[in-house]
Chain A
Amino acid sequence: MTLLKVNNLSKKYAEKYAIKDISFEIEQGEFFTLIGPSGAGKTTLLRLIDLLEPPTSGQIEYNGWSLQTLPKKKIVHARREMGFVFQNPVVFSSTVKANVAYGLNFRKLSTDEIDERVQSALDMVGLRGFEERKALTLSGGEIQRVALARTLATEPNLLLLDEATADLDPTNVALIEKVLKKFNKEKEVTIVMATHNFFQAKRLGDSVGFLMEGEMIEIGTTDQIFNNPSDKRTEAFISGEMIY
C-alpha cells in the first residue's frame, strides 16, 4: 500500500529552487533513505512532507489525503501521524521526562499511558535514569537521543529523520540504528531518513533516493543504487569521487 506519494514537488527560495519537480512513492513499512551532498535539498524535502512549509508547486499525498488541501484541523491530525527528528534538535526548558512527554501531552493522553510510553522510549535510546535531569544541561548526543525518544514516544506511522545520528558516537549510532530497524520491521513504521553517510543508507534502507541540487537524480532499491547505479552522478557520489 502506498503511504506517501510526492507529485512534481518544487520549493523555491528567492528565485532559487531548493527542490525541483520531484516525484516518488513510498510504501507502508518501507525504510527509505535520502542521500545526497550537503545542500542537496534533503532537509527541505522532509520539512515539506511534515507540512512545516508549503511547497511552491506540486502535491504530497499521505495515506490518501492530499496534504496541500487539508483544512487546519486535519493538518494537525496528519502531523500527529508523523514524527520528525531534526538535524539540530532543541529541547524544552524542562526535565528529560517532561521533554519526552511533550507530544503525548499535546495528544492529551492519560498520565499512566504517558509515563509508560516515556519510560519505554527512554529505555530504547539508552537514557533510563535521566528522567529528572534538566534537558538543557545534556550533551549534544544526549539531546539528539532525547529528541529521538520524544518522537518515538508519539508512535508515528511515518518517521522523518534528518541526519538524526550525526552527533552520536559509534556505540550510540549502533543503538539507534537497532531501534529504528526494530520500529521499522516489528511495528511497520515507515521511515524516511536523510543522511549524507551512504554507509548508513546502505545498512538501513530498503530503497534509496539520491538527491542533488534539488533534483531527485535516481531512486531504486539499496542494492541497485549502490551496486548498479544508472546515473553517472550517483556513481560519482557513492564512489566518493564527488566532493561534498
Chain B
Amino acid sequence: MIVYNITVIGDMMIFFEALTEALALIFSGDAEIYGIMLLSLRVSGTATFLAACCGIPLGMFLGIRVYIGRRIVNNLVNTFMGLPPVVIGLFVFLALSRSGPMGFLSLLYTPTAMIIAQWILATPIITGITMAAVRSVQNKYRDTALSLGATESQLWFTILKEARISILAGICVAFGQAISEVGAIMIVGGNIRFSTRAMTTAIVLQTRMGIFGLAIALGIILITLAFLVNLIFTTLQEGVEVIR
C-alpha cells in the first residue's frame, strides 16, 4: 500500500513538473514549438482548403445528378470517408518513393507530401457531407427554384446556398481530422526536426523519449487550436443562421 502510494505521488509529481514545463514553454515563445504549430496549421489548412475546392463541386455533382451506379458511388464515398490515415500514408509513400510513379517529383519527406496525404484524407469527408447535404436540400428546393425560373447554374447556386451550413460543418470535420491525424504524415513526412515535424508526430516522438513537457505543451496547443478553429466555424455558422 505504501509503495503504491509513493508510486502514485511520484507519477503526479512527474505530471505536474511536465505541466509546469509545458506552460513555461508555451509562454516563453519557444521558437521550435511555434514552428511546429505553424507547420501543422499550414499543412492541415492547405490540405483542407484544397479538399474543399475539390470536394464541394464533386459532392454537389454526385448529389444533384442522377446517374447509373449512384448507389455504388455512395458506398465508395462513404468508405473513403473512413479511410485509416496510415493506409493513406502507405499509398502516398509508395507513390512518392524514389521507385514509385511520382518519385521523380522528390516530394517524399517534405511538407508537400504531408499536404497530399491529408488532402486525400479530407476530400472524401467534404465530398460525402456535401453530397448528403445537397441531396436533402435538392429534394426540398428543386421544384420551387425551377418553377421560379432558375437556370441550371442558378439552381446549383441556390442548392449550394441552402446547404451551406452542413457544408461548413463538413469542412470543420475535415480540418479536425487532418490536424489530429498522425499516421499518414508520420509515414510521408518522416517527422524531421525543423522540416516536417508536426504537432501530432512531435507528441508521439517526445512521449516515446519521455520528454513530457514538450509533448504536453504541444497537446495543449493542439487542443486550443482545435477549439479555436471550431469556434470560428461555429461563429460563421451562427452568422449564417442570423442571416437566415
Q: A and B: real partners?
A: yes
- How many angstroms from the CA of A89 to the CA of B144 in the assembled complex? 8
- Min CB distance B120 to A, Å, is 33
Q: Which of B32-52 contact A (CB under 8 A)?
A: none
Whether a CB of chain B sits under 8 angstroms from the CB of A175 is no
Whether a CB of chain A sits under 8 angstroms from the CB of B5 is no
- Min CB distance B170 to A, Å, is 17
Whether a CB of chain B sits under 8 angstroms from the CB of A217 is no
- Provide the residues of chain A in CB contact with B244, threshold 8 Å: 93-94, 134, 136
- Min CB distance B99 to A, Å, is 50
- How many angstroms from the CA of A71 to the CA of B132 in the assembled complex? 30
Whether a CB of chain B sits under 8 angstroms from the CB of A83 is yes
Whether a CB of chain B sits under 8 angstroms from the CB of A79 is yes
**In the complex, which of the residues A94, A106, A134, A136 contacts B148, with contact meaning CB atoms closer than 8 Å?**
A106
**In the complex, which of the residues B143, B149, B243 contacts A94, with contact meaning CB atoms closer than 8 Å?**
B243
Whether a CB of chain A sits under 8 angstroms from the CB of B146 is yes
Whether a CB of chain A sits under 8 angstroms from the CB of B7 is no
- How many angstroms from the CA of A80 to the CA of B162 in the assembled complex? 22
Q: Which of B221-244 contact A (CB under 8 A)?
A: 243-244
Which of B19-27, B84-92, B121-129, B150-158 lines the interface with chain A?
B150-158
Whether a CB of chain B sits under 8 angstroms from the CB of A128 is no
Question: Chain B, interface size: which category?
Answer: 10 to 19
Number of residues from A at the complex interface, CB < 8 A: 26
Main SS at interface, chain A? mixed
- Provide the residues of chain A in CB contact with B243, threshold 8 Å: 94
Whether a CB of chain B sits under 8 angstroms from the CB of A76 is yes
Whether a CB of chain B sits under 8 angstroms from the CB of A178 is no
Whether a CB of chain B sits under 8 angstroms from the CB of A209 is no
**In the complex, which of the residues B140, B147, B152 contacts A52, with contact meaning CB atoms closer than 8 Å?**
B147
- Provide the residues of chain A in CB contact with B149, threshold 8 Å: 76, 79-80, 103, 106-107, 154
Whether a CB of chain B sits under 8 angstroms from the CB of A86 is yes
Q: Which of B129-167 contact A (CB under 8 A)?
A: 140-141, 143-152, 154, 158, 161-162
B interface footprint on A68-103 (CB within 8 Å = 1, 0 otherwise): 000010001001101110100110111000000011
Whether a CB of chain B sits under 8 angstroms from the CB of A117 is no
- How many angstroms from the CA of A26 to the CA of B173 in the assembled complex? 54
- Provide the residues of chain A in CB contact with B150, threshold 8 Å: 76, 106
Given contacts A106-B154, A134-B244, A136-B244, contact A92 B147 (CB under 8 A): no
A-B contact pairs, 9 of them (CB 8 A): A79-B149, A86-B147, A90-B141, A92-B141, A94-B243, A106-B145, A106-B148, A106-B150, A107-B149
Closest A-B pairs by Cβ, 6 of them: A103-B148, A84-B147, A80-B149, A93-B244, A106-B149, A106-B150
- Which residues of B come within 8 Å of A, CB atoms? 140-141, 143-152, 154, 158, 161-162, 243-244
